[in-house]
Amino acid sequence: MRDPAVNRGRVRPIVARAMILLCVLPVGVALAGSGASTGATARRTVSWAARTMGTYVRVTVATDDSAAMSPEADRALAVFRRVDSLMSNWTATSEVARINREAAGAPTRIEPEVGVVLEASLRLWRESRGAFDITVEPLVRAWGFLGGPRRVPSDDEIRAALARVGAQRIHYDPPTRTLRFDDPGVRIDLGGIAKGYAVDVAAESLKVHGVSDALVDLSGNMVALGRPPGAGGWRIGIRDPRDRIPYLARLAITGQAISTSGQYEQFVARDGRSYGHIIDPRTGRPSEGLISVTVVSPSAMECDGWDTPLFVMGPVEARRKARQLDHVAGVLIEPGAGGVDTMWVEETLRDRLVLEPAARSFIRVRYF
Ligand code: ADP
Ligand code: MG
């Protein structure tokens, strides 16, 4: 059954040539022209879209039998509804909301999937020396990025929120799956990593059901399985954070994950400055220094997890960290003077990244 009402939780198949998909995707990272959609094999790409986790998700499958793929796409899309109901910070009924209410009173037992994301978050907190910190919630809220109007908080408000931030205040015991907060003011926000987790689980669901060539895209958090018809990989566009052209460059991805976090996604603008929704947990202020971070790695959770702290670290430290991490490769965009920005591309991605000809006048590419 096909139901066009995407936003009522049903899914809608969209049969489209890959080039057409490029035009309709309103996203940070997008599928950018992946070759012929028909050919000797009669395989083509078919997409199913839905609204979820405060954004959109699109599952694209290369197949010669789209009807047979529909239940697989449905199963993959159901993953996002489940993860949202566990990890959303926008509702009082999620598991994370319950944890935030209860974990300071007494140790509380948490759902296994939240445990997986929590363990990864605490590892990232250590590996990023605090640049990634899920206890950043009071700050994210103070800046208006968790509901209410976007705003620039006063120094006193920032100080008060900072006093409640720091992952050393949360204690997770994996064997018993219990979590405890040291302080009643502590809150967690999985918004910097939960999307990546959901994309990994959805892609795994496709894979175990025999789908070998597919792209799962949750607002720029993607897993690319196999390849589209007639191409060596899924070509993913890196969006221009300043919107001069749709995409600055394309990266060919196969059997890997990719995510982009950009200043353009959500921001507060005041006094000629724009403040992004990624907050430096050490200063309490939105990070500055980079306007876009793309991460390629084997897992979408690693990509989504790392894009946030690399942003916080800024251009120099982020290059050092990305180089140091074997499983993480980065593309960082640093704003420059005179309207010319620098795209820092990690050496391991050199052969796979193609700069759009139209970007040459305002992007200079440097490798690290
Ligand atoms: P999105 O795809 O929603 O843009 P990102 O991966 O860019 O997600 O993460 C941004 C979100 O992460 C913010 O909306 C906030 O919920 C959370 N966040 C902000 N700063 C940090 C931080 N320093 N560490 C961990 N999470 C953060
Ligand atoms: Mg992230």
Residues of the chain with pLDDT > 70, as a percent, come to: 86
Task: Compute the distance from residue 62 Cα to the ligand 1 centre, in Å.
Answer: 31
- 7 vs 176, which has greater pLDDT? 176
Structure confidence by residue, pLDDT tens digits, 28-79: 333 433 333 444 458 899 999 999 998 999 999 999 999 999 999 999 999 9
pLDDT at 237: 96
pLDDT at 252: 95
- Residue 6 pLDDT > 70: no
Structure confidence by residue, pLDDT tens digits, 317-363: 999 999 999 999 999 999 988 889 999 999 999 999 999 999 999 99
User: Which residue's C-alpha comes closest to atom 2 of ligand 1?
Assistant: 261
Structure confidence by residue, pLDDT tens digits, 273-319: 667 889 999 999 998 899 999 999 999 999 999 999 999 999 999 99
Task: Compute the distance from residue 191 Cα to the ligand 2 centre, in Å.
Answer: 7
The whole-chain average pLDDT of the chain stands at 88
Q: Are 298 and 200 in contact (CB under 8 A)?
A: no
pLDDT at 265: 55
What is the average pLDDT across 120-145?
97
Q: What number does the ligand 1 atom closest to the CA of 133 have?
A: 24
Residues of the chain with pLDDT > 90, as a percent, come to: 77
pLDDT at 21: 34
Q: What number does the ligand 1 atom closest to the CA of 132 have?
A: 24
Residues within a 6 A CB radius of ligand 1: 132-134, 136, 140, 145, 189, 191-192, 195, 219, 261, 265, 277-279, 281, 304, 307-308, 312
